[in-house]
Amino acid sequence: MREIQALLTGGVPAIPNPRSGDVFDPNSGDIQARVLFGDDATLRAAVTVAEAAQPAWAAVNPQRRARVFFRFKELIERERDALARLLASEHGKTVPDALGDIQRGLDVVEFVCGIPHLLKGEFTEGAGPGIDVYSMRQPLGVVAGITPFNFPAMIPLWMLAPAIACGNAFILKPSERAPSVPVRLAELLREAGLPDGIIQVIHGDKQMVDAILDEPRIKAVSFVGSSDVAQYVYARGTATGKRMQCMGGAKNHGIVMPDADLDQAVEEIVGAAYGSAGERCMALPVVVPVGDATADRLRERLVAAIGGLRVGISTDPDADYGPVVSAAHKARIEGYVGLAIAEGSEVVVDGRGFTLQGHERGFFVGPTLLDRVTADMRSYQEEIFGPVLQMVRVDDAQAAMHLATRHPYGNGVAIFTRDGGAARNFAAQVEVGMVGINVPIPVPVSYHSFGGWKRSGFGDHNQYGMEGIRFFTRVKTVTQRWPASGERQGSSFTIPTMA
Ligand code: NAD
């Protein structure tokens, strides 16, 4: 059985007698590898090495640090296809979708190639008589990232690229369900010239997460995963004084106004609801048509589009989406469909019990459409994270906005309309972190930033963009005066002002 090792740099000893986890191939249902978990002693050793290495890395001038990321970008591009196949084999998403996962992470690597500019501080000349004020952004020291299974390239890169470019040492604890690509990315970063000790990848489950959270020498933790875990991680990390950003789950609504281009909306919604088997925090699992006439027309088109979907293995070039990540997750998704029906939803297309010929043990779930879902249903309130689209009918635009605003999650939302004024009003008022206007998956580009509201995000600062730079640095502000020799002001017993 293939073993997936930690990536320990700078002389951290190998892990003795490791615990391990099974890594499946979701296409076949077989265990394809064992991932070796670190223990508390390994983490402590990794932090010791990281802490010793970090000051020298922070002292490397930012232009030279940027060059490591320029080379890293080239190496990822060189290995892009192999990375995508490896990623798809552990996650289950199609190879073209895996290429997108890598590209979205690469975008952040490209962003941090501008780190000399991004870290330029602020300067005020003459803030008072002979007084200048300047501020600088300094790294935090040793920081960590804990990532989910569903974007094994993009999310580790969201974190490690800004953290390391800012001059920190970084410890990554990737998802134990899809650990190979994060390790390979760290190897490529080493190949790009990153010094010993600045990156460590340690595998594990809750035990390793707790060890990271309780380790006082780790100054900040970036987490992405499900909301209950995000909230727990946030509380435990802040209790030990860490800076924490914890992104959680989602239940994104796609609102379809009566004036929307329905053919366009249906194409977009089907892709966003069923792409990656719905295992995206920016998927669109809830569609909200405004008015019954819109709902009926939309439903008819959705049923036709779903009928044309092809579920297949990750390497099938014609597959629209592949298997979900595990047998347990498949059972959970199908359980939610059963719950939704028991709660009174109408099942229009039922994807339960789906099997793919030749891959009967794979973790496939057929596309599912539920109509007449209502806001009080548990199946609506909770994240299903599968290829299940729930339709909630409302009478007017205000009710649609309230639905998204009142939902416990607030990651993304999309509105489909031709009315610019209505869209603008919606974007301004809805209580959700990322808004799409005729854009189904409004994941912001790498030079903006990513973050949800309410139960979709705990802590401060979004991921990547300037928000990522802010999260992984702290500001120091210097007020300076160079008095001429003999120039004296005498003691002052009032708060100094520039008045
Ligand atoms: P998860 O919460 O199960 O795991 C995330 C990480 O936390 C993993 O590294 C895992 O090892 C660790 N973990 C799991 N259980 C833990 C526990 N009890 N205590 C401490 N650590 C624990 O999430 P997942 O299933 O890997 O990923 C899917 C979830 O992530 C979905 O809810 C999805 O919406 C969310 N997600 C959110 C975003 C975002 O940016 N908001 C992006 C991608 C995924």
300 contact partners, CB below 8 Å, separation of at least 6: none
Instruction: Of 219, 192, 223, give the one whose Cα is nearest residue 113.
Output: 192
| C-alpha span between 32 and 24 (Å, rounded) | 5
DSSP-derived secondary structure for 81-96: HHHHHHHHHHH---HH
247 CA closest ligand 1 atom index: 41
Mark whether 426 and 307 lie in a shared domain: yes
Q: How far does residue 147's CA lie from ligand 1's centre (Å)?
A: 7
Tell me if 59 is assigned to some domain.
Answer: yes
pTM, to two decimals:
0.97
Q: Is 281 an annotated catalytic residue?
A: yes
Mark whether 242 and 295 lie in a shared domain: no
pLDDT grade, residue 18 (50/70/90)? confident
Task: Give me the mean pLDDT over the 351-366 stretch.
Answer: 97
Task: Give pLDDT, residue 177.
Answer: 97
| C-alpha span between 320 and 56 (Å, rounded) | 47
Backbone phi and psi for residue 289, each to the nearest 5 degrees, phi listed first: -75, 140
Mark whether 6 and 104 lie in a shared domain: yes
Q: Whose C-alpha lies nearest to ligand 1, atom 26?
A: 148
Mark whether 349 and 281 lie in a shared domain: yes
Task: Give me the mean pLDDT over the 422-431 stretch.
Answer: 97
Is residue 456 lining ligand 1, measured as CB closer than 6 Å? yes
**Which residue of the set 113, 166, 246, 281 is catalytic?**
281
Is residue 382 lining ligand 1, measured as CB closer than 6 Å? no
Q: How far does residue 224's CA lie from ligand 1's centre (Å)?
A: 6
Long-range contacts of 460-465 (CB under 8 A, 24+ apart): 460/243, 460/245, 461/245, 462/245, 462/433, 463/158, 463/159, 463/222, 463/224, 463/245, 463/247, 464/108, 464/111, 464/158, 464/161, 464/162, 465/111
Tell me if 445 is assigned to some domain.
Answer: no
233 CA closest ligand 1 atom index: 20
Counted domains in the chain:
2
pLDDT grade, residue 497 (50/70/90)? confident
pLDDT grade, residue 496 (50/70/90)? confident
Domain range for 176 is 2-248+456-478
Q: Whose C-alpha lies nearest to ligand 1, atom 17?
A: 206
Q: What is the CATH number of the domain that holds 61?
A: 3.40.605.10
Mark whether 231 and 351 lie in a shared domain: no
456 CA closest ligand 1 atom index: 41
pLDDT digits (tens, 9 = 90+) for 435-479: 999 999 999 999 999 999 999 999 989 999 999 999 999 999 999
| C-alpha span between 130 and 213 (Å, rounded) | 45
pLDDT grade, residue 123 (50/70/90)? very high
pLDDT grade, residue 19 (50/70/90)? very high
- Please determine, for residue 276, whether its predicted confidence score (pLDDT) is greater than 80: yes
Is residue 205 lining ligand 1, measured as CB closer than 6 Å? yes
Place of tokens 């309780």: 214
Instruction: Of 101, 80, 197, give the one whose Cα is nearest residue 147.
Output: 101
Tell me if 451 is assigned to some domain.
Answer: no
- Please determine, for residue 344, whether its predicted confidence score (pLDDT) is greater than 90: yes
C-alpha of 360 from chain center: 31
Tell me if 483 is assigned to some domain.
Answer: no
Is residue 411 lining ligand 1, measured as CB closer than 6 Å? yes
Structure tokens at 409: 């999650």
Mark whether 368 and 428 lie in a shared domain: yes
Q: Which of 22, 224, 286, 332 to mutate to test the pocket of ligand 1 (most atoms within 8 A of CB)?
A: 224
Q: What is the CATH number of the domain that holds 284?
A: 3.40.309.10
Q: How far does residue 153's CA lie from ligand 1's centre (Å)?
A: 15
CA atoms within 13 A on the CB side of 315: 11
- Please determine, for residue 17, whether its predicted confidence score (pLDDT) is greater than 80: no
- Please determine, for residue 423, whether its predicted confidence score (pLDDT) is greater than 90: yes
Domain closes at, from 437, 470, 492: 437
175 CA closest ligand 1 atom index: 9
Characterize the bridge pairing of strands 20-25 and 122-128. unpaired
Q: How far does residue 97's CA lie from ligand 1's centre (Å)?
A: 20
- Please determine, for residue 47, whether its predicted confidence score (pLDDT) is greater than 90: yes
Task: Give me the mean pLDDT over the 69-84 stretch.
Answer: 98
Mark whether 225 and 112 lie in a shared domain: yes
pLDDT grade, residue 97 (50/70/90)? very high
Instruction: Of 318, 6, 34, 58, give the one whose Cα is nearest residue 182.
Output: 6
- Please determine, for residue 15, whether its predicted confidence score (pLDDT) is greater than 80: no
Tell me if 489 is assigned to some domain.
Answer: no
- Please determine, for residue 2, whether its predicted confidence score (pLDDT) is greater than 80: yes
Q: How far does residue 332's CA lie from ligand 1's centre (Å)?
A: 15
Task: Give me the mean pLDDT over the 355-363 stretch.
Answer: 97
Q: How far does residue 499's CA lie from ligand 1's centre (Å)?
A: 52
Mark whether 224 and 237 lie in a shared domain: yes
What percent of the chain has pLDDT above 90? Answer: 96
Is residue 110 lining ligand 1, measured as CB closer than 6 Å? no
pLDDT grade, residue 238 (50/70/90)? very high
Structure tokens at 167: 């001059």
What percent of the chain has pLDDT above 70? Answer: 100
